């Protein structure tokens, strides 16, 4: 639409020419949206809000009176608020490149001031502290001209070949080199140990391989020898089996012959001997029984004969007493006792005769001893 203007996203549109209230900005600031601008009566200008940078290379003297060349980069832009845009527009709208020049000069002064209060060691080891102090020292001045600093980077610090920084770094460099040499020596030692271990491993592997190969060759040779001897060994085993079978057969035949000998000779001989012994025992027993029977018959006959002769024996004893002078003191009783005594003498004589007859006669000479043994066994 004719007269409607829109600023870019990184620009601020400044509209001038209208009436402004007392104390207000001399122009209207529009950002992020468009506005209607009456031609001829209004004038429009644009102020960049993009990031800008300024490089600073400044020779600064430290607290130790050592000159250093410091290079720094400053990143800045126009502030986003209306007041900053108005301040920047009033100062840089006609020549916006002057923002970088002025910013560099402001930071150069603050950089010289801050470095003058620090030592070289502090500057080297505490660069962030240097940047922070420079930013803090320039913040008020930058705000007055409508600029805000986003970052400050110290790029380099040079002692202009005085050798101070190099001397300061020498102990650390030596320590680092020493540590590096030690680390290299340790690394070399580990590498040598690893190499030795690798060589030992290879030697052990070669030894194990040779052992395995030797075992394999020995097994192959043994297998070949066994294969070569398989025929003779099989024949020898077969012959051994035949010999074993023949030996077993001979043993069985010997056992059979022994059994036959026992059955055909020993047992019949034992049976015949037993039969003869039994017959001899029977004959002996028969003779003993006959002898006992004969002796018994004789004793019976003798007993009868003695019994029959007993009255005659008593009579003869009484006859011997007929001429004797015998006094009988107790009359009839004494006579009875005398008669009883005569009978008792007769009985004693009878017993003596019987004992003499029952005593066995001595065995005849040459009688077999086994007959007596047989009689004792049969008697038992």
CATH number (domain holding residue 70): 3.30.479.30
Q: Which residue has the higher pLDDT, 332 or 46?
A: 46
If DSSP codes are grouped into helix, strand and coil, which group holds residue 280? helix
Strand 52-61 versus strand 67-78 pairing type: antiparallel
How far, in Å, CA of 81 to CA of 87, rounded?
A: 10
Statement to judge: residues 124 and 21 lie in one domain: no
User: Where is the domain boundary, 137, 162, 187?
Assistant: 162
- Label residue 17 exposed, middle or buried (CB < 10 Å: 0-12, 13-18, 19+): middle
Token readout for 191 is 């590498």
Give per-residue pLDDT as tens, 261-286.
Answer: 887 878 888 878 888 888 888 888 87
pLDDT, the chain, mean = 79
Statement to judge: residues 85 and 27 lie in one domain: no
What's the average model confidence in pLDDT over 211-223? 86
- Domain-located, residue 81: yes
For the chain, the domain total comes to 2
Q: What is the pLDDT of residue 365?
A: 47
Most confident of 53-67, 267-281, 344-358: 53-67
Boundaries of domain holding 125: 51-162
Q: Which positions ≥6 away from 330 have C-beta within 8 Å?
A: 337
For the residues of 150-206, what is the DSSP string, one character each?
EEEEEEEEE-TT-SHHHHHHHHHHHHHHHHHHHHHHHHHHHHHHHHHHHHHHHHHHH
Order of strands, sheet of 147-158, starting from the edge strand that comes earlier in the sequence: 52-61, 67-78, 147-158
- Domain-located, residue 242: no
Q: Does position 125 have pLDDT exceeding 80, yes or no?
A: yes
Statement to judge: residues 73 and 156 lie in one domain: yes
- 325 pLDDT band, cuts 50/70/90, is low
Buried/exposed code over 338-353 (b: 16+ C-beta within 10 A; e: otherwise): eeeebeeebeebbeee
Q: What is the pLDDT of residue 74?
A: 92
Q: What is the pLDDT of residue 94?
A: 86
User: Where is the domain boundary, 17, 32, 50?
Assistant: 50
Q: What is the pLDDT of residue 33?
A: 87
Contact 71, 156 (CB under 8 A): yes
- 103 pLDDT band, cuts 50/70/90, is very high
User: Where is the domain boundary, 162, 193, 225?
Assistant: 162
């Amino acid at each position: 639409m004719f007269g409607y203007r829109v600023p870019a996203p990184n620009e601020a549109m400044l509209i001038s020419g209208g009436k402004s209230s007392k104390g207000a900005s001399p122009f209207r600031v529009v950002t992020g949206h468009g506005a209607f601008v009456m031609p001829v009566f209004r004038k429009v200008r644009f102020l960049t809000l993009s990031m800008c940078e300024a490089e600073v290379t400044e020779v600064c003297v430290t607290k130790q009176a050592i000159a250093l060349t410091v290079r720094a980069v400053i990143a800045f832009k126009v502030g986003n608020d209306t007041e900053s845009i108005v301040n920047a527009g009033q100062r840089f709208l006609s020549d916006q490149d002057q923002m970088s020049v002025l910013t560099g000069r402001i930071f150069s002064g603050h950089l010289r001031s801050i470095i003058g209060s620090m030592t070289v060691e502090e500057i080297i080891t505490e660069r962030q502290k240097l940047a922070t102090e420079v930013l803090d020292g320039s913040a008020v001045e930058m705000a007055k001209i409508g600029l805000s600093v986003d970052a400050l980077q110290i790029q380099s610090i040079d002692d202009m070949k005085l050798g101070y920084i190099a001397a300061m770094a020498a102990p650390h460099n030596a320590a680092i080199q020493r540590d590096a040499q030690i680390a290299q020596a340790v690394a070399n030692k580990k590498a040598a140990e690893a190499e030795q271990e690798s060589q030992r491993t290879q030697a052990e592997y070669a030894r194990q391989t040779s052992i395995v190969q030797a075992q394999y060759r020995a097994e192959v040779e043994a297998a070949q020898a066994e294969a070569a001897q398989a025929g003779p060994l099989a024949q020898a085993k077969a012959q051994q089996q035949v010999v074993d079978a023949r030996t077993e057969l001979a043993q069985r035949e010997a056992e059979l012959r022994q059994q036959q000998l026992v059955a055909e000779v020993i047992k019949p001989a034992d049976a015949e001997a037993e039969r003869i012994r039994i017959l001899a025992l029977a004959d002996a027993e028969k003779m003993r029984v006959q002898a006992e029977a004969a002796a018994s018959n004789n004793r019976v006959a003798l007993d009868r004969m003695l019994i029959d002769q007993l009255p005659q024996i008593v009579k003869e004893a009484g006859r011997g007493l007929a001429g004797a002078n015998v006094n009988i003191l107790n009359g009839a009783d004494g006579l009875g006792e005398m008669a009883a005594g005569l009978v008792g003498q007769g009985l004693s004589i009878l017993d003596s005769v019987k004992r003499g007859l029952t005593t066995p006669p001595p065995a005849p000479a040459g009688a077999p001893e086994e007959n007596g043994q047989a009689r004792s066994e049969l008697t038992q």
